């Protein structure tokens, strides 16, 4: 089966996968529906084309229209991220993956620009600035893409990991969905890392614990749908390979979607990592 999606929730729906190899948990509140999927063994993982691990899917109101309501969703995203973070206060590297020159692929770089980086702030400087509690050390980078840098994103991140030795890496990347209904209102997190471009058949080297040597948390929002997948979803018929069109479809308000997604994910990461700071504190700092 050709899944053409980065979303584990969609892959389990399409494969109708259940049983001993998978565990699901559902959570609901006034602003979101959250599905927690644990892929428990390699056999199930291979069927789904995903790695063994935990996947959290948060379905929320459309991010395109969420400008005044981001604070209502932040707690849900923050608490989901807390489920995946290692239980220590070590250095965290946040890596935005993607191409800032292509709006639909710019989520990673946009989020990286909103991270409160603190690794360079000494304890004395933090006190002089007015922070009453120590800040967790955080670094942030935007990797660019292979065509811009000549480096795989995984290679770029590994060089930095080897130098600064974080306790974990948080990666952010735009995702592909098989349904237009999930564009801009879905956030996926996992503790399995990512293979950039896999949802649109442009798979790059994986960014994961096996390659980097530290835990990798992946966060993404679906911003595109493959045209062939869209046709199959709408008309319910398989498009023959020889008639496939190499085209990706994005929402018309993709620029607003990316901005609001980056705002939400950026401040949620900051709040998760800097537990002594409030939403208002971070809004004033960034």
Q: What is the pLDDT of residues 76-121, one digit of tens each?
A: 999 999 999 998 899 999 999 999 999 999 999 999 999 999 999 9
- Please, are residues 207 and 156 in contact by the beta-carbon 8 Å criterion? no
Rounded to whole angstroms, the Cα distance separating 108 from 197 reads 13
Contacts of 62 (CB under 8 A, 6+ apart): 184, 185
pLDDT (tens digit per residue) in 20-49? 789 999 999 888 999 999 999 999 999 888
Rounded to whole angstroms, the Cα distance separating 30 from 34 reads 11
Report domain extents, the chain: 8-274
DSSP annotation of 21: T
Tokens coding 269: 């990461």
- 246 or 238, which is more confident: 246
How does strand 216-226 pair with strand 248-249? antiparallel
CATH number for region 8-274: 3.40.50.1450
Please list, residue by residue across 229-255, b when 16 or more beta carbons sit within 10 angstroms of its beta carbon and e when fewer do. Answer: bbbbbeeeeebeeeeeeeebebbeebe
How does strand 92-96 pair with strand 138-142? parallel
Most confident of 3-12, 68-77, 108-117: 108-117
Rounded to whole angstroms, the Cα distance separating 170 from 157 reads 11
pLDDT (tens digit per residue) in 119-169? 999 999 999 988 989 999 999 999 988 888 888 999 999 999 999 999 999
Rounded to whole angstroms, the Cα distance separating 2 from 228 reads 11
**Whether pLDDT at 232 is above 90:** no
- Please, are residues 98 and 108 in contact by the beta-carbon 8 Å criterion? yes
Tokens coding 282: 């971070």
Rounded to whole angstroms, the Cα distance separating 226 from 203 reads 14
- Sign, CA torsion 142/145/148/149: positive
Rounded to whole angstroms, the Cα distance separating 232 from 181 reads 14
Tell me the pLDDT of the chain averaged across its residues: 88
- 180 or 38, which is more confident: 38
Closest to 170 (Cα-Cα) out of 268, 45, 67 = 268
Contacts of 197 (CB under 8 A, 6+ apart): 203, 204
pLDDT at 20: 78
Q: Distances from the Cα of 76 to the Cαs of 108, 147, 218, 229, 272, in angstroms?
A: 20, 35, 16, 30, 11
Closest to 184 (Cα-Cα) out of 109, 229, 250, 231 = 250
Is pTM beyond 0.85? Reply is yes
Tokens coding 60: 């929320």
């Amino acid at each position: 089966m050709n899944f053409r999606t980065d979303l584990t929730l969609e892959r389990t729906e399409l494969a109708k996968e259940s049983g001993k190899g998978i565990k699901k948990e559902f959570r609901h509140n006034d602003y979101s529906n959250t599905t927690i999927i644990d892929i428990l063994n390699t056999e199930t993982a291979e069927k789904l084309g995903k790695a063994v691990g935990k996947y959290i899917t948060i379905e929320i109101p459309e991010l395109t229209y969420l400008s005044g309501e981001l604070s209502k969703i932040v707690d849900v995203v923050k608490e989901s991220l807390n489920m995946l973070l290692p239980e220590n206060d070590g250095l965290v590297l946040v890596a935005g993956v993607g191409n800032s020159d292509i709006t639909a692929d710019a989520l990673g770089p946009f989020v990286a620009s909103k991270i409160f980086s603190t690794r360079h702030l000494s304890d004395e400087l933090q006190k002089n600035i007015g922070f009453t509690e120590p800040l967790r050390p955080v670094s942030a980078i935007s990797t660019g893409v292979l065509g811009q840098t000549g480096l795989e994103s995984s290679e770029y991140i590994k060089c930095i990991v080897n130098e600064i030795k974080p306790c974990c890496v948080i990666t952010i990347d735009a995702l592909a969905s098989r349904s237009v209904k999930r564009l801009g209102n879905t956030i996926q997190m996992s503790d399995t890392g990512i293979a950039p471009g896999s949802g649109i058949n442009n798979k790059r080297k994986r960014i994961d614990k096996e390659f980097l040597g530290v835990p990798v948390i992946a966060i993404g929002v679906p911003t595109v749908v493959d045209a062939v997948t869209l046709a199959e979803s709408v008309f319910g018929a398989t498009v023959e390979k020889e008639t496939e069109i190499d085209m990706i479809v994005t929402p018309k308000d993709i620029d607003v979607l990316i901005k609001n997604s980056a705002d939400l994910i950026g401040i949620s990461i900051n709040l998760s990592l800097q537990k002594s700071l409030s939403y208002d504190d971070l809004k004033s700092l960034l």
